[in-house]
Amino acid sequence: MSDLDAYRAKARAWLESMAPKYGRAARRGMTEEQELALGREFQAIKYEAGYAGINWPVEIGGQGLTHLHKVAYDTEEMRFGMPTVFFGISLGMPVPILIRYGMGENKEHFAWVKERVIKALRGEEIWCQLFSEPAGGSDLAGLRTRAEPEGNGWKMNGQKVWTSWAHYSDYGVIVVRTDPTVEKHKGLTYFWVDMRAKGVDVRPIKLAGGDSHVNEVFFDDVRLEDSQRMSPVGGGFGVALTTLMIERYIATDSGGFGPHLDVFVDLMKGLEINGQPALKDGRVRQQIARNHAMRAGLDSITARAFAMMQAGMEPGPEGSLQKLVAVRSRQKLSELALDLRGNLAFDFDPHAHVKEDWGTSWLNAPTGRIAGGSDEVLLNTIAERVLGLPQDHRPDKGVPFNQIPA
């Protein structure tokens, strides 16, 4: 048995010991607040057991292991449905970006960052990612939230939207416009923001599936110290792209965060089509085969990306393909499952888990197709950065942002 296999087996045994209290089945019927409290408790135990910050440096609270160890653990944890959804974005994107760009040379600042990292790993603090805006659509460079110099810091005004878990967040990372007189990609700056600061107003949005984990966030003369700046002035777009590259891999799996293919097969075992078992229908078997092949291909892309990171390389734009295909496939398979259930599909359970219930999966799939980049943005990335095709015509290219018609 290799070291990695032994690590995986040890992690699985630990998770099995935790599942009776923290697993998906143990939390049925709980409110979101109850799940969050249990999630914080589990996250602290997870940290003490050495399974939080697995591939982060030891000097800032991590375990100092490899990306492959993290993938091995995450694969096992996903099977148990532990209450970690509240911390997925926090630990997946904002905190790694804080580690990479927020350290600075000041020892006191390093100590502050380390404290934030450890508290995030223990579930004591949550970070959110403030990118999308109402007027920006999927164009990150088209955002209008602005920060203007004020004394030795900045004054921020504007609005963000679709910010996951902002209502529970203590801090967030944000990209804002600091210079409207240059073209749109060049006038952006990246900061971290205290979500409890004066002038920050978080308002939850109720989604079609019934939950309200996303929010709109308003900023009214919010004070930012220059020490909160994580990019050069005007250099925020590059840091934002790094964040999104991480998100392409962190925020998806080959099933698009919908039910596992085995759940579809189990459903088919109990259904008939024209008086015959559904599993004997060639069209059903074809869909199962196509989904299996697609998911295997996406798993290979992800494995390759993590192998690149293991070798010290940056993950490439292939993550856009992973995210695009996985969520589209989940939506189509969920729709097929509902169609084949007939009238039974109308029996919707608003408390069902998205990985176990086809109705919940189908209803929430459009959110997944927007979050982390819409289909159109991903298709452009694949065309230009994977296939090497020429760029779309962009009439705002080279035009100062304040001269673009709004």
| Domain containing residue 263: CATH number | 1.20.140.10
| pLDDT 10s digits, 75-107 | 899 889 899 999 999 998 999 999 988 876 556
Q: Is 379 a member of any domain?
A: no
What 3 state SS string does 344-381 have?
HHHCCCCCCCCCCCHHHHHHHHHHHHHCCCCHHHHHHH
Domain match, 204 and 115 both: no
Q: Is 397 a member of any domain?
A: no
Q: Is 336 a member of any domain?
A: yes
Tell me, what's the pLDDT at 315? Answer: 65
Q: Please report, for the domain that includes residue 150, its CATH number.
A: 2.40.110.10
Tell me, what's the pLDDT at 242? Answer: 83
Nearest-angstrom CA–CA distance, 213 and 207: 8
Q: Is 301 a member of any domain?
A: yes
Q: Is 399 a member of any domain?
A: no
Residue 288: HSE in the Cβ half-sphere, 13 Å Cα cutoff: 17
Q: Is 308 a member of any domain?
A: yes
* Single residue among 125, 145, 162 that ends a domain in this structure: 125
Q: Is 154 a member of any domain?
A: yes
Tally of domains in the chain: 3
* Single residue among 94, 125, 156 that ends a domain in this structure: 125
* Single residue among 100, 125, 150 that ends a domain in this structure: 125
User: 172 — alpha (psi -120 to 50), left (phi > 0) or beta?
Assistant: beta
Domain match, 296 and 308 both: yes
Domain match, 200 and 262 both: no
pLDDT for residue 153 is more than 80: yes
Domain match, 223 and 310 both: no
Domain match, 259 and 223 both: no
Q: What is the mean pLDDT of residues 5-19?
A: 96
Provide the token pair at 111: 């100590």
pLDDT for residue 144 is more than 80: yes
Tell me, what's the pLDDT at 1? Answer: 65
Provide the token pair at 278: 């559904």
* Domain range for 260: 252-370
Q: What percent of the chain has pLDDT over 70?
A: 94
Q: Please, what is the average pLDDT of the chain?
A: 89
Domain match, 66 and 33 both: yes
Domain match, 137 and 223 both: yes
Q: Is 25 a member of any domain?
A: yes
Q: What is the mean pLDDT of residues 106-115?
A: 82
